[in-house]
Amino acid sequence: MSKSQLKAELSRLNGQESSLRSTIINDEEDLRKLEQALRVISDEKTEYHSNKSKVDNIDIPSSDWQGNERKKYDEKFETLKSYIETIKTEIDSIITAIESDIRELTAKINANKLSLSNTIARIAVVEQQIRKADD
């Protein structure tokens, strides 16, 4: 390679290094946000379980309340319990999706860090070649 080609290659590699560093910084910030969201949702899930157990433990003995109003109440209560289960399923789906996003983003960050290391090594080689060309 000629000296001008080496300098062009060095310029391209420096741009690639800068781009990789920027991407890694942005992805690491996104990763922190996802991890924070996961913590918040996990805390909310804990609170959900606490409140759900309160609902599950509601029991009005048949001897205390009977008739049409009781039947209407029981139907509405069962609908409520079904809705609460739907919320649990949705929370679990959100947690699973965030965990998946975290794994994917972590892999992307690691791949970009490896690429950055390779780029930095290649920059050192090209710089050395330029110095030799100056001699």
106 and 38 in contact (C-beta within 8 Å)?
A: no
Express each pLDDT in 25-81 by its tens digit.
999 999 999 999 999 999 999 988 888 888 888 887 777 777 888 888 888 889 998
51: amino acid identity, one letter = N
Tokens for 20? 């990789």
User: Quick check: 27 and 105 in contact, CB under 8 A?
Assistant: yes
d(CA 49, CA 84) in angstroms, rounded, equals 10
* Domain ranges across the chain: 3-58+74-134
Contacts for 125 with CB less than 8 Å, ≥ 6 apart: none
The model's pTM is: 0.80
Amino acid at 99: E
> What confidence tens digit (pLDDT) does each residue in 3-31 have?
999 999 999 999 999 999 999 999 999 99
Instruction: Read off the tokens for 54.
Output: 């309160």
Region 3-58+74-134: CATH code: 1.10.287
